[in-house]
Structure 1
Amino acid sequence: MLTTTMLPPQARKAFHLLEQFERPWFVAGGWAIDLFLGRITRDHSDFEIALFREDQLELQRILKGWRLELATQGGRRRWMPNEWLALPFHELHTYDSENNHVEFLLNEKSNSDWVFRRNKAIKRKISALSMYTDEGIPFLGPEIVLLYKAKEGRNHDELDMRQARDHLGGSRRQWLCHALRVHLPDHPWISQLQ
């Protein structure tokens, strides 16, 4: 079983800070796949946490004292105090005083639905969006993580798919297969999920 003590130090620091964040948040990316599987499957170069766009200024408030940067098309720039970030901005890079890095990803929602930023026709009920570790740490369901990873085609994304594929339950597998048909209809993962 994968526990928080096995996660990188920046994850534990972020979890401690997020105790003050009274909004939904979820471990994302490759670490979410590992939390789903209950074991570390590969090396990770980053640690990502997803939250809803509407909660960004509350995140900024609890990260007081951290260096806050916004990913832009040309690189990165400072995320200014009380600056509201609309689409296409969605990726925040944050650093504590010891230079520990946590990436925060802004997600869209509409009423009780999470909305896929890359194709707004793809939605998932927020109540079905996440899962929890035995320690109560929320993480994005693997179907959401894999939908984002499908576009990239990087080696570690393919590995995450291979690791998670056989553990995806019926409804999560069906949802991902449908979402891929809508978003990337010729994607090879569709046949692997059927």
Structure 2
Amino acid sequence: MRTHTPWGPWEPAPLAEVAAWCGQLRVPWWIAGGYAVELAVGHAFREHADIDVSLLRRDQLAVQEVLPSWEWWAADPPGTLRRWLPGEVLASGVHDIWCRPGEGEPWRVQFMLEESEGPVWVSCRDRRVRRPVEEIGLAGQDGIPRLAPEIQLFYKAKSPRPKDELDFDALLPVLSVAQRAWLIRAVETAHGPHPWLARLRD
């Protein structure tokens, strides 16, 4: 699926290719976003405008080893892109990195930086929402690491778009009791009353 942005077109690389690229990393990483939802559900149910990979901010320089000949751009808030230079440590406010084969080519993959304190993952949305790093990801039978579905839904809960509502509907039946309980606590902590809470409690 090709989409267009003010910074050029997006044409997400196939999941298998991204997993192969990231398999070269010697640090933890997880497929995130809509593809993480799809992996948790077990089948495709909507198109994807991009493909996201999460890794810890402290490991950010390791990702430059993947596709070294490609262009790397940091998404500086609010709403600008700039070259991410080799060896440059991105500031704490920069969470997204776009990557493409070269100038004029479509963007193919986005890397997202997760915060942590030692062995604990800390949500960039609300620092009160925490979890051991070893628990934020899962690996399915395909061996592809993916962000835990309840954490992915927590990110989507801030301002749900139509595609986020679709993801919630698809994931709700596959969430365990423990996953629902964690998501309820996290959403209540960060957002207070939320339309998803009643359905999570059913």
Question: TM-score scaled to structure 2, two decimals?
Answer: 0.88
CA distance in 2, matches of 1:182, 1:173: 14
Normalised by the length of structure 1, the TM-score is 0.91
Matched, 1:82 2:87: yes
- Helix, strand or coil: the match of 1:43? coil
CA distance in 1, matches of 2:159, 2:16: 28
1:163 matched to 2:170: yes
Note if contact 2:116-2:122 (Cα within 8 Å) is conserved in structure 1. Answer: yes
* Contact 2:37–2:171 (CA under 8 A) maintained in structure 1: yes
Find the residue that maps to 1:124 and give its secondary structure: strand
Out of 127, 135, 141, which is 1:120 matched to?
127
Q: How many residues align?
A: 187
Pick from 144, 149, 159 the counterpart of residue 152 of structure 1. 159
SS, match of residue 166 in structure 1 = helix
The residue that corresponds to 1:131 in the other structure is 138
> Paired residue for 2:192?
185
1:34 partnered with 2:38: yes
| 2:8 matched residue in structure 1 | none
Distance in 1, matches of 2:158 and 2:190, equals 9
Give the match for residue 4 of structure 2: none
> What is the aligned-residue RMSD (CA, Å)?
1.4
Match of 2:59 among 46, 55, 58: 55
Residue aligning to 2:75: 71
| Separation in 2, partners of 1:176, 1:52 | 21
Q: Is the 8 A contact 2:13 2:109 kept in 1?
A: no
Separation (CA, whole Å) in 1 of partners of 2:179 and 2:120: 16
1:136 alignment partner, SS class? coil
Encode CA deviations 1:55-111: one digit per residue, 9 max, x unaligned.
Answer: 111111223111111112132111112110121101000112564510000001112
What secondary structure sits across from 1:120 in the alignment?
A: coil
Q: Structure 2 unaligned runs (5+)?
A: 1-11
In 2, distance between residues paired with 1:150 and 1:25? 22
Tell me, yes or no, if the aligned pair for 2:27 and 2:59 is still in contact at 8 Å: yes
Which residue identity lines up with residue 59 of structure 1 in the other structure? V
| Identical positions, percent | 35
Residues 113 and 124, structure 1, Cα contact 8 Å, conserved in 2 = yes
Q: Select 1:96's aligned residue among 101, 108, 115.
A: 101
How far is the alpha carbon of 1:130 from its aligned partner?
1.2
SS at the partner of 2:82?
strand
**Structure 2: distance between partners of 1:100 and 1:91:** 13
CA distance in 1, matches of 2:91, 2:13: 30
SS where residue 174 of structure 2 aligns? coil
For residues 42 and 66 of structure 2, what CA distance do their matches in structure 1 show? 29
